[in-house]
Amino acid sequence: MQRVGLPALFAGAVGLALLAVGVIYLTVECQALPGFLGPTHGDTSPRTGLGIVDVALGLAALIVAFVTVRRPPPTAPRHF
């Protein structure tokens, strides 16, 4: 079984969090957002631009995590 390093776990967690926030920004109207996401009273449209950016960054972070886990471990150079 391959061990997963801390950078891959961190990149995966950040990717999932960014995807979740992106989906929230794309689907929830601004006035109904939780306080930490910056609600705007009276605005009934979703934050499409921020949602797209968050989803793109989340996918990029997940790809980095996947590539980090899949690459082979470094080996010592061969001496002839």
User: Which residues, including other chains, have CB under 8 Å from residue 21's CB and lie 6 or more apart?
Assistant: 37, 54, 58
For residue 12, the model assigns a pLDDT of: 93
Question: Given the structure tokens 């601004």, which residue do they identify?
Answer: 30
pLDDT in tens, 26-63: 998 888 887 777 777 777 777 888 899 999 999 999 99
Question: Which is more confident, 4 or 18?
Answer: 18
- pTM of the shown model: 0.78
Instruction: Using the predicted structure, report yes or no on whether residue 5 has a pLDDT greater than 90.
Output: no
Give the residue ranges of DSSP H helices in the chain: 6-27, 48-70
Q: What is the DSSP letter of 4?
A: P
